[in-house]
Amino acid sequence: MLLFTAAAIGWLLFAVLAASVAYEKGYSAIAWFFGSLLLSPAFALIALAFATNLRREELLKARHEEITALLRASLPDSALAVMAEVQEAKPQPKLSRLAQSYLAAG
């Protein structure tokens, strides 16, 4: 009976740890807590180790938008037009040697 109680307490503690890690990465702590209770706290911790950090992604996106806004405010209109053209341009596919020789000969 004591072994079962110790295992249950360990299971709960690791589920709380998984919920804490999920919260720090920007995921729902409650969902990860109950999910790890049902499946396995060890499985949840392994899955969280490979999960992306949503808080970091949001921070990087906000910084990118802030820098873009600062650049747009400080650049002249001609530079903004060039930036728009570059964003719309699609990369050209790499041609094979046969296509390159055909274009060079023609």
Q: Report the b/e string of 94-103 with b at 16+ CB within 10 A.
A: eeeeeeeeee
pLDDT (average), residues 74-98: 71
| Contacts within 8 Å (CB) and 24+ apart, 26-29 | 26/53, 26/54, 26/55, 26/57, 26/58, 27/51, 27/54
**φ, ψ of residue 75 in degrees (nearest 5):** -90, 150
Listed range (19-23, 50-54, 101-105) with the worst mean pLDDT: 101-105
Q: How confident is the model over 27-77, as pLDDT tens digits?
A: 999 999 999 999 999 999 999 999 988 888 888 888 888 888 887 777 777
- pTM above 0.75? no
